[in-house]
Amino acid sequence: MNHVDRPVAWPTALTRWSSVAADVLPPAVIFLATLGPGQVLARHEPWPLLLQVVLVAPLAWRRRAPLTVFCVIAAAAAVQWVVGVQLPADAALLVALCAVGARRTWRQALTAGLVLEAGVLLAAWRWAPPGQFPFTVAALTAMVAAALTTGLWIRARQAYVTSLEHDREQRARLAVAEERARMTRDLHDIVTHNLSVMVALADSATYVRHRAPDQAAAAVERIADTGRQALADMRRALSGGGGWVWVWDGGGDGDGGGGEDRGGQPLQPAPGIAQLAPLAERMRAAGLPTRLEVTGDPTVVPATAQLTVYRLTQEALTNTLRHAPGATAEVRIHLTPGHADIEITDDGRAGRPSTT
C-alpha cells in the first residue's frame, strides 16, 4: 500500500526540503561568490578561509535564532577587523541584520543596526581609500539602512498577514455561532408549534372518538401530517436555512412539487408567505379559528424575509393556541417591495385584542 501513502507524504516532504533550501542556499551562495581570485583563495594561510566560514555559515540558522546569528557574525567580523583582514563575506552581516528586523522587535533590530553602523565606521576608518572616507561611510550606511528597512517591512507584512488570518478565523467562529443560534431558534419554533398542534389534535381526537369516529380519524391523520411537516422543517433548519429540502411523505402524494430526489421523495421550498394559508388551516384544525388576510405581491419580498414572516406568524399563533384556549386569531399582512407589515391579533382572555 506504499503507492497509496506516497501522495499524502509528498506535500510534507516538499515543504520540509523547501525550508531546508531556504536556510542553506543564501549562505552557500554568499560563500561561493566571495571565493574568487584575489579574495580568500588567493591567500596561502588557512585561517582566512576558516574566518570566511564563520562569517557565512551561521546564516543557515538565521530564521531560528536571528539575534544569536547576528551576534556570532558580528563577533567574527570584529576578529577580522582586529587581525586586519578584509573579507567580502562581511555581506553576511546585512543578511543577518535583515533577519533580525524580520523576526525580532523593532528595538532589537534598531540596536543591531546601530552595532553594524559602528562597524561601518570602524571598517571605513581602517580600509577606506585615502580621501574616500565620507563616500565609503555613506555607501555602507545606505546598505545597512536598506537591510534594516527590508527586515522591518517583512516583519510588518507578516504581522499584517497574521492579523488577516486571525480576523478570518474569528469571522468563521462568529458565523458558526450565529448559525447555531439560528438553528436553535428555528428548532424551538418548529418543535413548539408542531407539538402544540399535535397535542391539540390529540385532545380533540380523544374527545370525539366515541361520538364522531370519522372526526377522530381525521384528527389522527392531521397529527401524522403535522409530524411530517415538523420533520421537513427540521431537515430544512439543520441543512442550513432556506431553499429546497427533501420531505418524506410516507408514500402518499407530496404537495410540495419542485421535483423528486433519487429516492422518489418530493421537494418542498422553505416556508414562506405561500405557506401561511396551510398554516392557518392547521391552526383551525387544532381548534384555533384563524382568519388570514394577505395583500400585495409576495414575490417582491425576499425568500429570507418570507421565512421570517412565516416564523413570526407561526410563533404568535402557537402562543395563542397554548395560552388562550377558545380564542380567535386574525392575521393581516401587507406586502410592498422589500417591506412587510404584520399584524396578528386575538381575542383571548386578556379582555382586549393583543397585537404582535
Confidence at residue 12, expressed as pLDDT on a 0 to 100 scale:
64
200-224 average pLDDT score: 83
Confidence at residue 221, expressed as pLDDT on a 0 to 100 scale:
85
Confidence at residue 348, expressed as pLDDT on a 0 to 100 scale:
74
pLDDT over 50 (residue 214): yes
Residue of 35 and 86 predicted with greater confidence: 86
Q: Assign 333 to helix, strand or coil.
A: strand
The verdict on domain 271-356 having CATH code 3.30.70.141 is no
pLDDT digits (tens, 9 = 90+) for 193-203: 888 888 888 88
pLDDT over 90 (residue 160): yes
Closest CA to 309 of 259, 344, 264, 267: 344
Q: What is the mean pLDDT of the chain?
A: 79
Confidence at residue 294, expressed as pLDDT on a 0 to 100 scale:
92
pLDDT over 90 (residue 112): yes
* pLDDT band at 269; cut points 50, 70, 90: low
Burial per residue of 324-345, b for 16 or more beta-carbon CB atoms within 10 angstroms, e otherwise: beebebebebebeeeebebebb
pLDDT over 70 (residue 45): no
pLDDT over 60 (residue 34): yes
- Give me 122's grid cell: 570602524
Residue of 209 and 139 predicted with greater confidence: 139
Residue type, 300: V
pLDDT over 60 (residue 126): yes
pLDDT digits (tens, 9 = 90+) for 162-189: 999 999 999 999 988 888 887 888 788 7
35-43 average pLDDT score: 53
Q: What is the pTM of this model?
A: 0.55
* pLDDT band at 15; cut points 50, 70, 90: low
Closest CA to 108 of 117, 97, 121, 118: 97
pLDDT over 50 (residue 354): no
Q: What is the DSSP string of 47-96?
A: HHHHHHHHHHGGGGGTTTSHHHHHHHHHHHHHHHHHHT---GGGGHHHHH
Alpha-carbon dihedral 144, 147, 151, 152, rounded to 10 degrees: 50
pLDDT over 60 (residue 262): no
User: How many alpha carbons fall within 13 Å on the CB side of residue 42?
Assistant: 8
pLDDT over 90 (residue 308): no
Confidence at residue 247, expressed as pLDDT on a 0 to 100 scale:
41
Q: How far is CA 85 from the centre of its chain?
A: 56
Tell me the range of 43-52, 206-215, 251-260 where mean pLDDT is highest.
206-215
Confidence at residue 61, expressed as pLDDT on a 0 to 100 scale:
87
pLDDT over 50 (residue 67): yes
pLDDT over 60 (residue 300): yes
Which CA distances in Å does 142 have to 47, 120, 190?
30, 11, 71
Burial class (CB in 10 A: 0-12, 13-18, 19+), 1: exposed
Confidence at residue 149, expressed as pLDDT on a 0 to 100 scale:
94
**What percentage of the chain has pLDDT greater than the value 90?**
24
Strands, DSSP E only, in the chain? 244-246, 267-269, 290-295, 329-336, 339-346, 354-355
Could you identify the residue written with the cell 574616500? 132
**What percentage of the chain has pLDDT greater than the value 70?**
78
- For the chain, domain boundaries: 20-171, 271-356
pLDDT over 70 (residue 9): no
